[in-house]
Chain A
Amino acid sequence: MSVQFISGNDAFALGVLLAKPAVISAYPITPQTVVVERLSEYVADGLLAANFIHVESEHSALSCAIGASAAGVRTFTATSSQGLLYMAECLPYAAGGRFPIVMMNANRALALPWNIYGDQSDSLSQLSCGWIQAYAENAQEALDLALMAFRIAEDARVSVPFMVNLDGFHLTHTYEPVDVPEQELADKFLPEFQTDNKIDFDKPVNMAFSAGPGHNKQFRIAHHNAMLRAFDAIAEAEKDFADIFGRKYTGALDAYRTDDADFVLVTLGSVSGLARSVADELREEGIRAGVLRLRYIRPFPGKEIAAILNGKRAAVLEKDLAAGRGGAVFTEVASVTAAATLSAIGGLGGEDIPAAAIRGIFKTLADEPETEVLYL
């Protein structure tokens, strides 16, 4: 193990290097580019024996990844924003086809207006596409999620593609010290990819077929159930991860001082650390604040969220705004608990969320319980 001072993108690329994918197909887009540049360098320097395919679009990036996964090998791609939406047709295709591709998405605002900075409108617009969605908080978790994503996606009980989201610039381009594991330990954590869902010359298959009314639901329900089984796969992967690397993760949720909290801020991604320090400050002032970070939003840990927020008042802070509805994460959380009363929309188009703004959310929650929406 070595400690390196690197960006979130660098950390994720190192995680992918340790996972040893056989095929990488990607198309560049800000702020994802550093990941594909680093991976290209690893391939160019012989550190990674992957076939890096320079595709002509994001639609091709994921189509190509589906092809490689259909050949039964470990496959990686990365994108962001407009790119994610350009490949949107392929997202349910990869998921319904049960191809355990891992993709990093650098969260970025969607046009229009054009904006290259970080918000979560891109991935949150794709909650129903059938992929596992995790959100990293820091560079260390980005690296660790790269490894865990392959393990969980490729778990035979799951076999669903996995999207790891990193907040654009706030995480992708911010430098932090990161523990980089030894290859030997990574190999111990991540077994070789094995699947029956592959081209086989001894036992040929017809793949990615049509299924009409009657048959169709069988596949859709099986996919849903596989997503729900991912909770078990996540728990087991995190247990092994802690045993091998000594770092502990807490499943789909990361609850901070919520047990005795009166007011909880639900968060997603890199803003969570700041939210926790604001909660600490508020506690010193006598306000019992807590933070509940969603590490995974698909599969959605609804029962656990409801249990943690039971008897409290909660706000949801997110970097997206679904026109005509509001915050997508708030909608999700409010669907499982009446505790979520306040939707805080911030960070749109990459705008900084300062500590004072987070403090303001808690204050609103405490002092103005009738307020439903807060635009930071």
Chain B
Amino acid sequence: MNARELSKNEYFFGHKACAGCGGSLAVRIALKVLGDRAVAVLPAGCMSAVGFNFPQLAFANNAIISTFAGTASMMTGILAGLNARGEKDFTVVSFAGDGGTADIGIQALSGAIDRNDDILYICYDNEAYMNTGIQKSSLTPYGARTTTTPPGTVSRGNEFRKKDMFEIVRAQGIPYAATASIGYLTDYMNKVKKASEIRGTKYIHVLAPCPTGWGYDTADTVDIAKAAVDCGVWPLREFENGVYTETPARGGDKTEYLRRQTRFSHLTDDEIAQIKDNEYNGRK
């Protein structure tokens, strides 16, 4: 897909996300791919906090805030209800953050995959609990400063590596799983489009940088998201009909990627050099 093939409608507009927010771009673009008959389900997190402040309601399509831990189960309920109503040709899509997906929401997500419910679960990953003020989640990469992993005299920031959600959902035998980045929107749009045409549970994990939490200029969001892919810390992966594919790294410089973000600024050059890709992206 390209820009001209997208719906001209703006489904996510007038929201109160920070300037340069990567998450809001991920939501906006996915809804432009999915169109009028998308039902958006958002748990607590940045995107629900910025989009649903009555009377400032920023979704042009049907949209609902879910319970934090129950995003996927609410999606299942909506799916079942709309099916019972006889509705056809709709997509129940979530936009859940990294904490909402990999921490508090993983039980419900696993249940939905287990039942193979026909939903499209999109996790926008800004690598911490940004809405509450940049606290560590299980998708915060190794070494990163957050407000709950502050570097101190005996700590060098987050000491845990990022959880690999892609492998977790793949291990459950999901029909479709992909990682994406808002730095490569065409790839993301194609994956959203493809996922919407597959029956059963689909999972897309889109890296969505956060200027506020990562510490970089608001204009650089898309650049940073590209650089994460290029340097290999965020490979674009796809699992479809049991077949795994991956876009190889494009030769970017990991040190340069990390150095552009103040959340890593406490790390020495040696420490940065020692960070392995798998500590960043959680892979085995």
Chain A positions within 8 Å of B, measured between CB atoms, are 22-23, 25, 51, 53-57, 59-73, 75, 89-90, 93, 199-201, 204-212, 215
Contact = CB atoms under 8 A, between A and B. Distances in A.
A63 B69 contact: yes
Contacts of B87: 201
Nearest to A74: B84
Interface of B: 36-37, 39, 41, 48-49, 52-55, 57-85, 87, 90, 107-108, 110-111, 114-115
A209 B54 CA distance: 6
A59 B84 contact: no
Nearest to A60: B73
Given A63-B67, A89-B67, A204-B62, A25 B78 contact: no
Contacts of A64: 70, 73-74, 76-77, 80
A70 B73 CA distance: 13
A65 B60 CA distance: 24
By secondary structure, the A interface counts as mixed
Nearest to A211: B54
A246 to B, nearest CB: 32
A184 B185 CA distance: 56
B55 to A, nearest CB: 7
Nearest to B77: A67
A60 B39 contact: no
Given A63-B73, A199-B39, A71 B114 contact: no
Given A72-B81, A72-B85, A89-B67, A199 B62 contact: yes
Contact of A209 (B41, B57, B79, B82): B57
A206 B52 contact: yes
Contacts of B66: 63, 66-67, 208
Contacts of B65: 207-210
The 10 closest A-B pairs by CB, nearest first: A71-B81, A67-B77, A63-B70, A56-B111, A60-B73, A22-B84, A64-B77, A67-B74, A68-B81, A209-B52
A180 B188 CA distance: 56
Contact of B70 (A60, A68, A201, A205): A60
A51 B39 CA distance: 20
B131 to A, nearest CB: 12
B53 A209 contact: yes
A71 B82 contact: yes
Contact of B62 (A53, A200, A209): A200
Contact of A71 (B36, B48, B78): B78
Contact of A201 (B49, B62, B74, B115): B62
B67 A212 contact: no
Contacts of B74: 63-64, 66-67, 70
Contact of A56 (B71, B78, B108): B108
B64 A208 contact: yes
A56 B82 contact: no
Contacts of A205: 62
Nearest to B60: A204
Contact of B80 (A51, A200, A207, A208): A51
A15 B59 CA distance: 39
Contacts of A204: 36, 59-63
Contacts of B60: 204
30 contacts: A22-B81, A51-B83, A53-B76, A57-B111, A61-B73, A64-B77, A64-B80, A66-B70, A67-B74, A67-B79, A67-B80, A67-B81, A69-B81, A70-B74, A70-B77, A70-B81, A71-B85, A72-B85, A73-B80, A89-B68, A201-B36, A201-B37, A204-B36, A206-B59, A207-B64, A208-B64, A208-B65, A209-B53, A209-B65, A210-B54
